Structure 1
Amino acid sequence: MSQKKVKTFSVLDTQIRVVPVDKEDYISLTDMLKAKDGDFFISDWLRNRNTVEFLGIWESVHNPDFNYGEFDIIKSQAGLNSYRISIKEWVKKTNAIGLMAKAGRYGGTYAHRDLAFEFGMWISPKFKIYLIKEFQRLKEADQAQLGWDIKRYLTKINYRIHTDAIKNNLIPLELSKAQINLSMKVWRKRSG
């Protein structure tokens, strides 16, 4: 993943990365977690029964390959003190597409924006509101940039059409002696 595709925005003094995955925005939960007070882990959020149910519903709407059998097993254990599951385990067992753990330069845990907004509520209601607001601002800025790029491209195309039309229709391939003499006369007058 190139750095050009990774975008960042700030929520309550926390820098959060956004990466595109199959034309969808995935937001870094790892970055968001820095805004939560204390030592918490994404697995703490994932062990909550309401979280697991929400993830299962989201996957059932968006993922035709979701493994419902494994999901039911995980859901039955969610909320128990002994229950723990990592993002990698969740994805592997359920074939989930809404969450992903990435290694490397832009590594961390990422979630589809719908799920990231829900994670924002776990951090705090205030954080969720600002997360949505700042994400929308980022998307509006992207749209404005896209509009500018389109206008620039259209201007470039129009310029080429106009210059080609002038070359092909207004400028003769060969000039007569009279045209050359007239051009020279005009040139001398202007430069002299």
Structure 2
Amino acid sequence: MSALMIAGIEIHKDQDGRFSLNDFHRAAGGEKRHAPNEWLRNAQAQELVEEIGKPENPGLGGNAGIPALRVVKGGRAPGTYACKELVYAYAMWVSPVFSLHVIRTFDTVAANDHVIPQEKRLPIAADNLDAAKRIAESFGLEGNQALLCANSMVKSAIGVDLMEMAGVKRLVNETQEMNFTPTELGAKFGMSAVSMNKLLADCGLQHQVIYKPGKKRWEVTPDGKLFAVITDTGKKHSDGKPVQQILWKESVQEMLARLADKLRSGMPAVVAGGVTR
């Protein structure tokens, strides 16, 4: 198993793989009442040491022929060394919060240990992927970008490449669209930004809202949300509402072209639900 770090304290092991309870004691705060020798005085701890040491119980204290607990009083690395089961018991004796922290740390390190079968690493990696995806989305990433970023974070954090485990070599490309300002969109139709905004309104995609006497702003309608991308500018209107810029997806051009052709030809155009008829 890879090195353990609890609260910034490295947990050392002896030559047989037992963990230093003294290191765990320091990680728990180092209070005298939580010293390993104090824990070993209670009957429950002694009973657990004896139970693990029975021949029928596999592990350090059983079939392996290695005692579950070892107390070193001299030499270069004195201290109390215990198997993982005793570490869990000691941590719970200190406090439930410390115990949970210890268990989760063991699980995370185990997930990063390539000796552990992949099926045992998967649940931990999946939980990490969900958290990483939320982080990616909080930075404005979406779709494949968010998934690739999340997978990279999980691989970096616990050494598990979920895409590789799933046999996914690449993600199917998402449909990419350019986004345009009313000025850029108007240029494609040979009209000004003012005329383009009016055309977008005629299509039922946006409408003007009076937020202050003499002051108006464009807001996207429910039908317009399918074609619009709202971006924050970091500024605010005089009423305190954030100033947002409306960008329009290139897919809106087909609808605009149909309406523009009808307007140019003098044919009546009825707009309902954002669709010209």
TM range (shorter): 0.3 to 0.5
Q: Rg: which structure is higher? A: 2
TM-score normalised to the size of structure 2? 0.34
Greater RCO (Cα-Cα under 8 Å, separation 6 or more): 1
TM-score normalised to the size of structure 1? 0.47
Q: Kindly indicate which of the two structures has a greater share of residues assigned to helix.
A: 1
Q: Kindly indicate which of the two structures has a greater share of residues assigned to strand.
A: 2
